[in-house]
Amino acid sequence: MLFKRVESEGIAHYSYLVGDKNEAVVIDPRRDCDVYVKMSEKQGMSIRYILETHRHEDFIVGSVELSAKTGADILHADGHLEYGYGKILAEGKRISVGRLGIEAIDTPGHTLGSKSYVLYGPEGETWAVFSGDALFAGDVGRTDFMGRDRLEEMSGLLYESIQKIIGHDDGTLLCPAHGAGSVCGDSIADRVWTTIGLERKLNPKLKHGGKERFVSATAKMLDYPPYFRMMEERNLVGTPRLTEMPSPRSMSPKEFKYASKDSIILDARTELGFGSAHVPGSISIWADGIPSFGGWFLPYDRDILLVADGMEVQKTIRYLARMGYDNIKGYLVKAMLSWHMAGNASEGIITKTVQDLCKSIDNGSEDAWILDVRGDEEIAREGKLPYSHHIHITDLPERKNEVPKDREVHIFCGSGLRSMTAASLLKREGWKDLVVMLGGITSWNSLTCPLEED
């Protein structure tokens, strides 16, 4: 018997491989899907089915890729959508995998056609519920994908769906499609594993006391990255297989420089590396920040060139591929070392620690122009910087003209990483006097620097 959860770092995505005897099923596979083939073959099993809980918005589902490798049948959820592949497993229908049974139940709310799948053991006992994006550890799925006009309707549907899920025994494993850090929930808890009983006891979203209060608490619009729309479209028609796509190639500085004329340059190094020296015109998004912020700032319709250090190259390419970025043309061999050795010019962005600014404000000075790119909840939790101007990082392209070009701009976030992303975006648009504050608000609070009073 086989029960494995596969965690995809970055997007906090969980997929599952379940098998018995010589058969296996994969629930919500990722695009780079060799991991399921290798694990099942190691156990002497063949993947017979691929199940999707819903049409995913935040990553490219790997069903078509995995089916091509294994011949498995694809069973998806949303019957009201026109899929280009697979077929529907209707509510109440079951499939068998060895001695195990899996039953589909309709759990709309996150999307109209979402399904969950109940796993039964050899004796018919309930072992687990694969809940997709309906119910998470400590949270529930977002309900805003149908728009503001249908928020209350979708939250009401989700409430009813959750009642189906939590109607199972306390000891039943709950297996959602995401963990902490995913954009598909509001505040997913960092629990390694969870059960129906634990969620009844610990999940604050299940303690609102009735449908009306649940709807009132969950019917809200959240950030909607532009790449979600692309994921929705591609997960309907089926994405081209990775094996059919050209691999990003290593480029010499000369090749890289020539290709950069018509491309976007993504620098996936840390804020210190980028601030010290970068290829002119680059966008800074550190490697582990790409799943959260790449979809806000990177296009699908232009080639992307990559600057990254060592092992970060392949990790960055993997992150981008999971988000459907098949337009990664190549990467700079040996990163900035080769660029400089070839005699090419680079640019930098000033970085400073917070001490001097802290003393200046502590002494009553209002001279500094401070840009804070944190989110509203972060500011409420961590404190507001005195005399600061708040523009969330994802709103900056639309609101950049609120930032002065004739003053030195000090940029804050939680640590300095997003600040460098913001600085790179502004610099590409002509801003020059930019200062990234290293350590961000974390450093500021560590030194007990002044905060704006409520």
Q: What is the pLDDT of residues 387-406, one digit of tens each?
A: 999 999 999 999 999 999 99
Using the predicted structure, report yes or no on whether residue 269 has a pLDDT greater than 80.
Answer: yes
Torsion over CA: 369, 371, 372, 376 (sign): positive
Q: Please say whether the structural domain 2-230 has been given the CATH code 2.40.50.140.
A: no
Cβ contacts of 95 within 8 Å, gap of 6 or more: 25, 49, 75, 89, 101, 102
Residue 354's pLDDT band (cuts 50, 70, 90): very high
Determine the Cα–Cα distance for residues 364 and 214; give it in Å rounded to an integer.
46
Residue spans of the domains in the chain: they are 2-230, 246-336, 350-446
Using the predicted structure, report yes or no on whether residue 246 has a pLDDT greater than 80.
Answer: no
Using the predicted structure, report yes or no on whether residue 386 has a pLDDT greater than 90.
Answer: yes
More confident position, 410 or 363 = 410
Using the predicted structure, report yes or no on whether residue 25 has a pLDDT greater than 70.
Answer: yes
Residue 431's pLDDT band (cuts 50, 70, 90): very high
Provide the pLDDT for residue 266: 99
- The catalytic position among 175, 184, 413, 449 is 413
**Planar angle of CA 13, 287, 139, nearest 5 degrees:** 30
Using the predicted structure, report yes or no on whether residue 87 has a pLDDT greater than 90.
Answer: yes
Provide the pLDDT for residue 387: 93
Residue 239's pLDDT band (cuts 50, 70, 90): confident
Using the predicted structure, report yes or no on whether residue 69 has a pLDDT greater than 90.
Answer: yes
Instruction: Report, as an integer, the average pLDDT of 432-448.
Output: 97
pLDDT in tens, 280-332: 999 999 999 999 999 999 999 999 999 999 989 999 999 999 999 999 999 99
Three-class secondary structure assignment of the chain: CEEEEEEECCCCEEEEEEEECCEEEEECCECCCHHHHHHHHHCCCEEEEEECCCCCCCCCECHHHHHHHHCCEEEECCCCCCCCCCEECCCCCEEEECCEEEEEEECCCCCCCCEEEEEECCCCCEEEEEEECCEECCEEECCCCCCHHHHHHHHHHHHHHHHHHHCCCCCCEEEECECCCCCCECCCCCCCCEEHHHHHHHCHHHCCCCHHHHHHHHCCCCCCCCHHHHHHHHHHHCCCCHHHCCCCEEECHHHHHHHHHHCEEEECCCHHHHHHCECCCCEECCHHHHHHHHHHHCCCCCCEEEECCCCHHHHHHHHHHHCCCCCEEEEECCHHHHHHHCCCCCECCEEECCHHHHHHHHCCCCCCEEEECCCHHHHHHHCCCCCEEECCHHHHHHHHHHCCCCCCEEEECCCCHHHHHHHHHHHHCCCCCEEEECCHHHHHHHCCCCCCCC
Using the predicted structure, report yes or no on whether residue 56 has a pLDDT greater than 70.
Answer: yes
246-336 matches 350-446 in fold:
yes
Task: Of 282, 287, 277, 283, give the one whose Cα is nearest residue 336.
Answer: 277
Task: Of 266, 421, 404, 420, give the one whose Cα is nearest residue 352.
Answer: 420
Using the predicted structure, report yes or no on whether residue 424 has a pLDDT greater than 80.
Answer: yes
Integer angstrom CA distances of residue 230 from 80, 276, 377? 19, 34, 27
Provide the pLDDT for residue 454: 67
Instruction: Report, as an integer, the average pLDDT of 103-115.
Output: 96
Using the predicted structure, report yes or no on whether residue 243 has a pLDDT greater than 80.
Answer: no
Provide the pLDDT for residue 189: 96
Domain range 350-446, CATH class: alpha beta
For domain 246-336, give the CATH superfamily: Rhodanese-like domain (3.40.250.10)
pLDDT in tens, 132-144: 999 999 999 999 9
Using the predicted structure, report yes or no on whether residue 236 has a pLDDT greater than 70.
Answer: yes
Provide the pLDDT for residue 364: 84
User: Is residue 358 annotated as a catalytic residue, yes or no?
Assistant: no
